[in-house]
Structure 1
Amino acid sequence: MNEFPYLDGGGDHLDLILATSEIGIWELDAATGTASRNLRHDQIFGHDTLLDEWSADIFLGYVFEEDRERVGTLLTKSLNDGQPWSFETRIRRADGVDRWISAKGMPKFSDSGDVTKLIGHVIDITETKQNEDRLKLLSKELNHRVANTFTIMNSMIRHAAKNTTTVEDFAETLMERLGALSRANRVLVAEEAERSSLHDILDMELEAFAGWRTRISITGDTLVWFSGEASEALAMIFHELLTNAVKHGALSVPTGHVAVTIDTGPSRQVLIKWAETGGPPIAPARRTGIGSTILQNALRDEGSVNLDYDTSGLICDVTVNHSFQREIPDAVVPPSTALPDGQPVDPDGSFAGWRVMVVEDDPIIGMDIAEIFGSRGATVVGPFTTVATALQALRDAPDVALLDVNLGQETTDAVATQLSDLSIPFLILSGQMDSSDLGEAFQGASIIGKPFGEQDLVKRVMAMM
């Protein structure tokens, strides 16, 4: 007997339940050792139609060898001792595909108390197991990354303390590098958290230097994917190069330009060249600081960074070994490497006469933002920590608003909608960098990720106005 008799005729509802739930059901006769099943049962094991026969031995033949003894013992105990049967195991289907299944069964007894049969079900749980494995990987990666981040922060503090002469310089240096770490992390917490593309790394770091994008050209294939460690290292490398170019190099003068080229080396390495031209003359005597140290040691033994202080401008050659690369995920569409236009904005400009509204539920962040704009002459409205108080304050029509997305248990969708209706520009403050993940009220608005640097925040608001 290959089919359950009660599935015919009056079992329409049961048929529907079994079909939609993808459950395979089975019934094992204790005396003969033969089993009845529904079609879904045999499909789970890689068969398009019901087999002529099925038994416990046939089933165990599909179970991975290292799990076979455990599963067989459970079956024996169920038949001999009347114990319920429940387990998860890996199987290799008839078509050679490896899957995970969950099986449960319970004994049925005769009037004398003997086991007459086992009944139960089997479910393909491969997708669930894959998700569990991914969560374990992400958790492990997150723990590793957090520990590394704190260690990097400790190193930054020590080096910055040695190489800065004022508290202000120390704070600025530290905040800039923490911002670079934060941007690297936002790239790495995407769906493919164990890897990220060179395009995303470049785009995320260049976003913090938007005013100079028109003077940075990128040629070559940026659709190259790296491990989490390499992605974080490359983000720090590009941050140091950009910071140096803006402060001292080609981007510090109107005539300067940076060319970034990507190529492939003989051993499948990724070769990245950063070449500055048109900048101020490079001083013959240079002090080695934390920036140079980060550049030359970021990739550890998985690559190299060579600096050439050429008379025409800094040249930096970055080599990333093939071992740091990852496979390109399926269905990735090559992104455009075109960079949006932008003009440098004076980060020390005045906000005198401006009314800047702040909506932020964290008191420390709110006070920090209020101080940043208040010290530049703005009239700060807020910080407001609830949607109700923010909506009430809109009656006085601020010139610009800085808007956190989540205020405790509520979101600021209503505030964003009202700001749009009043044509008041607003900047989103969020740990998310992709506005498509936010509500409809926030679509199209400018966004700056947390944590943010003081100058980055000021430049973004000035550019909006």
Structure 2
Amino acid sequence: MKDNPALLDNSGEHLDLLLATSEIGIWELDAVTGTALRNLRHDRIFGYDSLLPHWSAEIFLKHVVEEDRERVNALLTASLNDRKSWSFETRIQRADGVDRWISAKGMPKFSDKGEITKFIGHVIDITETKQNEDRLRLLSNELNHRVSNTFTIMNAMIRQTSKKNDTVEQFANTLVERLAALSRSNKVLIAKEAERSSLSEILKMQMDVFADWQTRISVTGNTSVWFSGEASEALAMIFHELLTNALKHGALSVAAGKVSVSITSVGRECHIRWAESDGPTVAAERSTGIGSTILQNSLRDEGTVKLDFAPQGLICDIVIKDSFQRETSDKPTPAATRTREQGLGGVSFSGQRILVIEDDPIIGLDIADILETRGATVSGPFTSVANALEAMREIPDAALLDVNLGHETTDAIALQLSELSVPFLILSGQDRSDLGSAYNGASIISKPFREQDLVNELYRIVC
């Protein structure tokens, strides 16, 4: 195939088109005079609307953020001394104060005698690419954490559900229902942004499973309310527990029973009331199980759930609030199906006060039960740093820390425990390299964990 002379003659026009559409900033520096030529795009990348009368390496380095300046200067100096090309990425601060990322490349040009005559190069704004990389990294870390947490929740459900059912069939049915609810709540989180936090989508997803009873459930108020991913997941589990309880023991267990769900907005808070009527009389004395714990603790620091076991029917008031501060932490009642100090392998924590910090209520309930059946006095489980630090006024003998508590970490707790010489375990789905210096030297129990591994490792550091 022969070259087309006409096309080659127009190569300059094609180059101009390429530069215009790719938004590449180009520059050329005369090695003798120090005169720098640039196109307009070059200076605009650095925040100038028009070409500056003068440009230099010093001006460029002033735009490089202070943390990167020494590294970039060393790269440029080494490249010039070695008479080689250079290529690097760095953060800059534009003339208008906006931080951006750029990719910079350059090379020297030589005369026939081997002397450097000029330098040429280009810069490209890669901020969007870097933001996408950060987002993917964040999503990857979140996915790893969520998968680990999900399996840990499943383990907790299996252990706790086995204590509340008399037959294998009852156990299997209850477990399958709860795992299905967990699966549906996960679908809320991976759906489109507009749907994943929609109250109407959450209600529909749960009520579709209970289609035969939908005519006896009335929903009033605005269901077009959006929630965070964590609150959406929690609400999905809450409505599953309410529906299941209503069918087994509450209003929907008899033909005349009804349920009303009302939604109101108070400021930036969303108030949801679940009210059962015309069902069996509610018993005044009730034991606390995993279902009640899910209802009361699922929203963590993003809201509250209050249960009123009124004789005429259960009333559940749910508040999703703007504030993430929580005043108290509910402590679940330990299960009575195993005696204290029984435990696997004969391990006992009798006389030991153990602090537990875990933001997932199901996992927290499970850990507390595991420790209390072995004689420990459990402080918690706490879902916020503030509550845990308050509880540490009475110094524990040991602690078990989840690293991430929603919008905060347990770094401050780990540091205080270290200062008090209190041994602690880390319970986390994160990679060890992601943990901060506050956790240095502490043993890690990875999620999901085996009950015996948790007990043995805790016993090792306490006894």
Q: Same fold (TM over 0.5)?
A: yes
1:287 CA displacement: 4.1
Does the CA-based 8 Å contact 1:33-1:56 persist in structure 2? Answer: no
Cα separation, 1, equivalents of 2:191 and 2:178? 21
Report the more deviating stretch, 203-212 or 228-237. 203-212
1:195 CA displacement: 7.4
Q: Name 2:383's counterpart in structure 1.
A: none
Q: 1:213 to 1:24 in 2, by over 3 A?
A: farther
1:132 CA displacement: 0.9
Query: Counterpart of 2:50 in structure 1: which amino acid?
Result: T
Q: 1:295 to 1:44 in 2, by over 3 A?
A: same
Q: Name 1:369's counterpart in structure 2.
A: none
Q: 1:191 to 1:108 in 2, by over 3 A?
A: farther
Residue 280 of structure 2 corresponds to residue 280 of structure 1: yes
Partner SS state of residue 197, structure 2 = strand
Q: 1:49 to 1:214 in 2, by over 3 A?
A: farther
State the TM-score, normalizing by the size of structure 2: 0.62
Q: 1:158 to 1:219 in 2, by over 3 A?
A: same
Q: 1:178 to 1:90 in 2, by over 3 A?
A: same
Residue 17 of structure 2 corresponds to residue 16 of structure 1: yes
Does the CA-based 8 Å contact 2:195-2:201 persist in structure 1? Answer: no
Cα separation, 1, equivalents of 2:31 and 2:195? 49
Cα separation, 2, equivalents of 1:193 and 1:56? 47
Q: 1:301 to 1:198 in 2, by over 3 A?
A: same
Q: 1:192 to 1:171 in 2, by over 3 A?
A: same
1:164 CA displacement: 0.6
Cα separation, 1, equivalents of 2:148 and 2:309? 34
Residue 118 of structure 2 corresponds to residue 117 of structure 1: yes
1:150 CA displacement: 1.1
Residues 232-256 of structure 1: CA deviation (Å, up to 9, x unaligned): 2222111101111233322334443
Does the CA-based 8 Å contact 2:89-2:104 persist in structure 1? Answer: yes
Cα separation, 2, equivalents of 1:75 and 1:34? 18
State the TM-score, normalizing by the size of structure 1: 0.62
Partner SS state of residue 95, structure 1 = coil
Cα separation, 1, equivalents of 2:34 and 2:210? 72
Runs of 5+ in structure 1 lacking a partner? Answer: 1-7, 326-465
Cα separation, 2, equivalents of 1:246 and 1:288? 18
Cα separation, 1, equivalents of 2:27 and 2:217? 66
Q: Name 2:187's counterpart in structure 1.
A: 186
Cα separation, 1, equivalents of 2:199 and 2:121? 51
Q: 1:293 to 1:91 in 2, by over 3 A?
A: same
Q: Name 2:130's counterpart in structure 1.
A: 129
Query: Counterpart of 2:295 in structure 1: which amino acid?
Result: L
Q: 1:281 to 1:224 in 2, by over 3 A?
A: same
Cα separation, 2, equivalents of 1:124 and 1:213? 55
Map 1:241-390; keep pairs closer than 5 Å. 241-264=242-265, 268-323=268-323
Cα separation, 1, equivalents of 2:195 and 2:141? 11
Query: Counterpart of 1:230 in structure 2: which amino acid?
Result: A
Map 1:35-54; keep pairs closer than 5 Å. 35-54=36-55
Aligned-pair identity in percent equals 72
Does the CA-based 8 Å contact 1:62-1:93 persist in structure 2? Answer: yes
Q: Name 1:161's counterpart in structure 2.
A: 162
1:171 CA displacement: 0.9
Cα separation, 2, equivalents of 1:22 and 1:211? 60
What is the RMSD of the two structures over their aligned residues, measured on CA atoms? 2.8
1:211 CA displacement: 3.5
1:79 CA displacement: 2.6
Residue 78 of structure 2 corresponds to residue 77 of structure 1: yes
Partner SS state of residue 16, structure 2 = helix
1:269 CA displacement: 4.4
Residues 207-249 of structure 1: CA deviation (Å, up to 9, x unaligned): 3233333433334444444443333222211110111123332
Partner SS state of residue 275, structure 1 = strand
Does the CA-based 8 Å contact 1:86-1:105 persist in structure 2? Answer: yes
1:314 CA displacement: 0.7
